[in-house]
Amino acid sequence: MDLKFNRVYPVILFTILIISLILSLAGIIYNFIDPGYSMYIMNLGVLVLYIAPFASISSIFIKGVYNRDYTLIGLSIILLIIIGLNMVQLGLPSL
């Protein structure tokens, strides 16, 4: 499972980074056409980047479930709760 995880996890992270990168680039290019709409696209790029840590923690959670590693499951849930509560307190993201 560890070998499989070491292959799958980087792919997930890379995909999120690439999507964020493409949206950021599109936002910059669109800045010349419609600056208002470009802000919307760049904002989306930033929000996609914020998904990366959640994807990391969720991947580790799944790894914990698969390996029946309850420490890993517990830790990832605690971390998700800490980040989630802080985000709710600050206000959830919106476009």
Contacting positions for other proteins (CB under 8 A): 2, 6-7, 9-10, 13-14, 16-17, 20-21, 23-25, 27-28, 31, 35, 38-39, 42-43, 45-46, 49-50, 52-53, 56-57, 60, 63, 69, 71-72, 75-76, 78-79, 82-83, 86-87, 90-91, 93
Residue 60 one-letter amino acid: I
Cα(70)–Cα(65) distance, integer angstroms: 7
Cα(53)–Cα(64) distance, integer angstroms: 17
Provide the minimum distance between the beta carbon of 34 and other proteins in the complex, in angstroms, as a whole number.
13
Provide the minimum distance between the beta carbon of 65 and other proteins in the complex, in angstroms, as a whole number.
14
Provide the minimum distance between the beta carbon of 46 and other proteins in the complex, in angstroms, as a whole number.
5
Contacts of residue 19, Cβ cutoff 8 Å, sequence gap at least 6: 48
Provide the minimum distance between the beta carbon of 82 and other proteins in the complex, in angstroms, as a whole number.
6
How many other C-beta atoms can be found within 10 angstroms of the C-beta atom of residue 18? 11
Nearer to other proteins, 50 or 65 (CB): 50
User: Is residue 78 within 8 Å of 86, Cβ to Cβ?
Assistant: no
